[in-house]
Amino acid sequence: MKRFNLELGVGLFVLAGILSLAYLSFRMGDLELFGKKGYEVQAIFADSGGIRSGAGVAIAGVQVGKVQQVVLDDYQARIVITLPIDVQLPKDSIAAIKTRGVIGEKYIEILPGGDEEMIGSGGRIAETQPAIDVEELISSYVFGKL
């Protein structure tokens, strides 16, 4: 009986450890277990600037969503963004590709507009600003083109 209690205790401890690791994996990987929560909007950019799926989407410096996919559409980059239901974007919002720091990760910054009409699910952000190419700026400065 004593051996059975010891084995049961060890088994429960190992199970709790496995469940904790699974929970941490989902939380750290920002994975969604039961499907998407929120809605999708699209933005068309002349240059994606190297942004990738999974990149963050921020409003006022606060991450509110993420990039679902980046695809080529008529020689432009169509970026699909997932936002939570409680974050509504006015029709005249502006999406810009930014970089954290000088050579940091790429993300999309959304500047909300003042329009009373909101962008719905599957809608499109009309105004976009492409990424600034830091290498091009530096070479322009070095070679006196600025």
In degrees and rounded to multiples of 5, residue 95 shows phi and psi of -110, 130
Estimate to the nearest angstrom the gap between the alpha carbon of 99 and the chain centroid: 13
C-beta separation of 111 from 90 below 8 A: no
Average pLDDT over residues 51-74: 91
Higher pLDDT, 131 or 70: 70
40: burial class by Cβ within 10 Å (0-12, 13-18, 19+)?
A: middle
Give the whole-angstrom CA distance, residue 64 versus residue 83: 6
Please give the span between the terminal C-alpha atoms of the chain, in angstroms, as a whole number.
83
Nearest CA to 111 among 54, 61, 46, 55?
61
Q: Please, what is the Cα angle at 28 between 23 and 31, to 5 degrees?
A: 75
Lookup: tokens for 23: 């929970």
The one-character DSSP state at 130 is: P
Out of 10-14, 30-34, 104-108, 139-143, least confident range: 30-34
| pLDDT, mean over the chain | 86
**Positive or negative CA dihedral for 145, 49, 125, 110?**
negative
Give 126's pLDDT tier (boundaries 50, 70, 90).
confident
How far, in Å, CA of 43 to CA of 91, rounded? 12
pTM for the structure as a whole:
0.70
Average of pLDDT values for 77-103? 89
DSSP H or E run through 16: helix 2-28
Q: Provide the pLDDT for residue 44.
A: 93
Look at 97-106, 107-116, 129-138 and tell me which has the smallest mean pLDDT. Answer: 129-138
What's the pLDDT at 137? 74
- Confidence (pLDDT) at 81: 94
